[in-house]
Amino acid sequence: MNRRGFIASLTVVSTLIGLMLSLQISARSASSQDDGGGNQSSLDLQEELMEQNQEHKLLLQQIEKAEKQLLTFETSGSSYEDRKKALEKDAAQLKAAAGITPVTGAGLEITIQADPTLPGYDANTVFDPQLNLTPVINYLFAQGAKAISINGYRFVGTSSLRDVGDEKNPVLQVNGHSIAPPYVIKAIGDVRAMNAVLTANGFAKNFNEIGEDFTVQTMSSLTVPGYHDVLPGRYAKEVTQ
């Protein structure tokens, strides 16, 4: 009887110890995750502060610009010619900001096309242009590209890059226009930063692996055309007050 009792208690004790250990371990791992979470939220705050600072600067810039613009109107005469001039000046600035005016400057010209001499080339594999070109455009804009066009179509605030073909015959549309390879992306901006981001993401290598040539040329001057398609404003109206 005593022996049985001893065994029973020993069993209970061992079980409890086992349970304790496992709980302790899980509690530990949970608390170590907590620490991670704590650091994370500290980083988040830092990041948010950076963002708010950045937004503050941008807002001040925009306010300054708006004040200047307002001043132009306030100081311009009331004659027809004066009013026309003020409106045209306003229009020129806005067209540039919206991407309607062509831009000339230093930039990159990227040419992408199938190359049968590449080891990764496979005549049966279809290149998905939307999937593959979207990140290129996005990374370039993220590096502060001032203007980007794809096969002559300017990428603006309402632009899209979309494959409207089927699985075997992709047809890429930019701003609703169908384009065909070679895909030529022109990007004006900080060529060093843009080149760096393309290299860092291994675009040339990745494209080559699927049989696509990815050639980047750095140009001291190239021109990206302006946007010439539908302007918004049919459905969206400005809120002015």
Partner 1 sequence: MRTRAKLSLSLTVVAMVLGFMVTLQYRQTLLARVSDVTASYTDGRQKELADKVAQLERVNKDALKRLQNLNGEIAAYEKESAGADAQLTSIQQNLSRYRILAGTTPVEGPGISVTLMDGQYNGVGSVSDYTTHDWEVNYVINELFTAGAEAVSINNYRVVANSGIFCIGPVITVNNHRLVAPFQIQAIGDPAVLKGALEMQGGILDLLRNVEDIKVSAVKVEQNIQMPAFTAAVTAPPSEGAAQSTKSSEGKQG
CB 148 within 8 A of CB 154: yes
CB 73 within 8 A of CB 195: no
Alpha helices in 159-200 (DSSP H): 191-200
**In 23-121, beta strands by DSSP E:** 103-114
Tell me which stretch binds partner 1 (CB under 8 A): 112-120, 178-186, 204-212, 224-232: 224-232
**What three-state secondary structure class fits 222?**
strand
**What three-state secondary structure class fits 157?**
coil
Q: Using the rule CB under 8 A, which residue among 113, 138, 151, 223 binds partner 1?
A: 138
Q: 193 to 222, contacts with partner 1 by CB under 8 A?
A: 193, 195, 217-220
Tell me which stretch binds partner 1 (CB under 8 A): 113-121, 156-164, 178-186, 206-214: 156-164
Q: How far is the CB of 148 from partner 1 (least distance, A)?
A: 7
Q: Which is nearer to partner 1, 20 or 180 (CB)?
A: 20
CB 113 within 8 A of CB 181: yes
Q: How far is the CB of 149 from partner 1 (least distance, A)?
A: 11
Provide the token pair at 57.
Answer: 């600067």
Q: 165 to 184, contacts with partner 1 by CB under 8 A?
A: 173, 176
Provide the token pair at 79.
Answer: 């004659």
Task: Report the alpha-carbon angle 40-141-217, nearest 5.
Answer: 125
Q: Using the rule CB under 8 A, which residue among 126, 162, 182, 213 binds partner 1?
A: 162
CB 80 within 8 A of CB 88: no
Residue with tokens 């939307």: 130
Q: 113 to 132, contacts with partner 1 by CB under 8 A?
A: none
Binding string, residues 8-27; x marks residues near partner 1 by CB under 8 A? -xx-xx--xx-xx--xx-xx
Tell me which stretch binds partner 1 (CB under 8 A): 3-11, 121-129, 178-186, 205-213: 3-11
Q: Which is nearer to partner 1, 54 or 125 (CB)?
A: 54
Say whether residue 191 binds partner 1 (CB under 8 A). Answer: yes
**What three-state secondary structure class fits 74?**
helix
Count of residues in contact with partner 1, rule CB under 8 A: 110
Tell me the CB-side half-sphere exposure of residue 125, using CA atoms within 13 A.
14
Q: Tell me whether residue 203 is exposed, middle or buried, using C-beta atoms within 10 angstroms of its C-beta: 0 to 12, 13 to 18, 19 or more.
A: buried
Q: 73 to 112, contacts with partner 1 by CB under 8 A?
A: 73-74, 76, 80, 83-84, 86-88, 90-91, 94-100, 106
Q: Which is nearer to partner 1, 125 or 218 (CB)?
A: 218
Q: 33 to 62, contacts with partner 1 by CB under 8 A?
A: 33-34, 37-38, 41-42, 44-56, 58-62
